[in-house]
Structures are given as structure tokens and as C-alpha cells.
Structure 1
Amino acid sequence: MDPEGVNDFRGATVLHKQVDIIMMRFQDLMSEAAECLGR
């Protein structure tokens, strides 16, 4: 295995985890906004 490919794979995995966290935060904000608008 080439080290460069491994580093790219690790970087992509970390980035994917960050995207998942951001999406979860975004969904929480949207649900809170929907509750505020619904009241």
C-alpha cells in the first residue's frame, strides 16, 4: 500500500465525519426554527 493513498483515505474519512456532524447540527437548527415559527 502506498502511504499517500492511506493519507488521502484517512483525510476523506475525517472530512466525512465532520460533514455528518455539521448535517446533524443543521437539522437540529432547522427543527428549532420550525418550532419557533409554528408557535
Structure 2
Amino acid sequence: MTANDWILPWFMLVRTMYIMLNLVGLFLSSCVPLFR
């Protein structure tokens, strides 16, 4: 098991979480004016 095999899954997980946070941020920023 090389270092690359250990880093790659974590890199994919972090990137997926980052994309999810961006989508949630866009969703909230688009919904906030509706609640006002």
C-alpha cells in the first residue's frame, strides 16, 4: 500500500465535501431573499 493509495480516497472525499458545501451555499444564498 503506497502513500498515493492512502491519499487519493481522502482527496476525493474532501473534494466531494467541498462541492457539497458550495452547492449548499448557493442554495441558501438563493433561498434567503425568499424568506425576507
- In terms of Rg, which structure is larger? 1
Equivalents in 1 of 2:6, 2:31: separation in Å?
37
Among residues 26, 29, 32, which one is paired with 1:32 in the alignment? 29
Superposed CA deviations along residues 5-37 of structure 1, whole A, max 9, x for unmatched, are x4233211101000111111111100011013x
| Unpaired stretches in structure 1, ≥5 consecutive residues | none
Give runs of ≥4 in structure 1 deviating > 4 Å.
none
Number of paired residues?
Answer: 35
Structure 2: how far apart are the matches of 1:12 and 1:32? Answer: 30
Matched, 1:20 2:17: yes
TM-score between the two structures when normalised by the length of structure 1: 0.66
The two structures, once aligned, show a CA RMSD in angstroms of 1.5
